[in-house]
């Protein structure tokens, strides 16, 4: 850390690095974010970049953390105003799909990193797993509320439904990122409406 900069400035630089890492990782994957490239892109030295994190793995974890926080601020947060149960979950999935379709995100950061690290044990894989589990738990809780409210049949298999809803999200992500299919969001919404009995 520079003794010439205030703590506020140091934190701002750290944020700049992470924002840049998010952009690079969207295109090249989290492993493809190199310290040298971040330094060039930000007009800093490599030592200046890595000094904020210590190791590349710590930088990866910080980047992932920022992505998870952005997702939480956008998706569940915007659905929080809707009625618990089917309404809120429909709204949350709509937000997820809109988030993936947004330019600049490079689709769903979380699902990309999940694929990238599913065969590489370690802290990054663990963190991805934890973040996805939180999202699954959120969906399962809303589904149970919907069952209790009578908006879904009492014999609903909640875990099965979470699995299938997740599949729709993954299909939407692939259709958007790989096939660049403009119909993808609409297809995803239709699938979700059917799964939630609307």
Positions 4 through 33 that interact with DNA (CB under 7 A):
5, 9-10, 13-14, 33
> If contact means CB under 5 to 8 A according to the sort of partner, which of DNA, a copy of itself, none does residue 62 touch?
none
Strands (E), 53-110: none
Distances in Å between the Cα of 179 and the Cα atoms of 79, 115, 171 are 28, 18, 11
Residue choice 19, 55, 83, 157 for contact with DNA (CB under 7 A): 55
Task: Estimate to the nearest angstrom the gap between the alpha carbon of 146 and the chain centroid.
Answer: 25
Q: Does 150 bind DNA (CB under 7 A)?
A: no
Instruction: Name the one range near DNA by CB under 7 A: 51-59, 74-82, 103-111, 178-186.
Output: 51-59
Q: Does 185 bind DNA (CB under 7 A)?
A: no
Torsion of CA 126, 127, 132, 138, to 10 degrees: 120
> If contact means CB under 5 to 8 A according to the sort of partner, which of DNA, a copy of itself, none does residue 90 touch?
none
Q: Which candidate, 94, 13, 105, places its Cα nearest to that of 51?
A: 13
> If contact means CB under 5 to 8 A according to the sort of partner, which of DNA, a copy of itself, none does residue 83 touch?
none
Around Cβ 157, how many Cβ atoms within 10 Å? 11
Q: Structure tokens of 150?
A: 């009578």
> If contact means CB under 5 to 8 A according to the sort of partner, which of a copy of itself, DNA, none does residue 178 touch?
a copy of itself
d(CA 198, CA 103): 29
Q: Does 61 bind DNA (CB under 7 A)?
A: no
| Minimum separation from the CB atom of position 36 to a copy of itself (A) | 17
| 8-state DSSP, 29 | -
| Minimum separation from the CB atom of position 66 to DNA (A) | 16
Q: What are phi and psi of 16, to 5 degrees?
A: -60, -45
Enumerate binding residues for DNA (CB under 7 A): 1-2, 5, 9-10, 13-14, 33-37, 43-48, 50-52, 54-57
């Amino acid at each position: 850390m520079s003794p010439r900069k205030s703590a506020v400035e140091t934190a701002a630089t750290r944020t700049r690095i992470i924002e840049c890492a998010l952009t690079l990782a969207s295109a090249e994957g989290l492993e493809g974010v190199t310290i040298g490239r971040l330094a060039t892109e930000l007009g800093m030295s490599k030592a200046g970049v890595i000094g904020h994190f210590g190791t590349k793995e710590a930088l990866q974890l910080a980047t992932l953390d920022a992505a998870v926080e952005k997702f939480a601020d956008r998706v569940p947060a915007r659905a929080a105003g809707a009625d618990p149960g089917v309404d809120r979950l429909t709204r949350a999935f709509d937000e997820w799909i809109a988030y993936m379709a947004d330019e600049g995100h490079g689709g769903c950061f979380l699902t990309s990193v999940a694929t990238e690290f599913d065969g590489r044990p370690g802290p990054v894989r663990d963190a991805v797993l934890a973040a996805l589990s939180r999202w699954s738990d959120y969906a399962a809780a809303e589904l149970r509320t919907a069952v209790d409210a009578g908006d879904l049949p009492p014999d609903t298999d909640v875990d099965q439904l979470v699995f299938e809803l997740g599949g729709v999200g993954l299909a939407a992500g692939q259709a958007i990122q790989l096939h660049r299919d403009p119909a993808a969001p609409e297809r995803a919404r239709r699938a979700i409406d059917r799964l939630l009995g609307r």
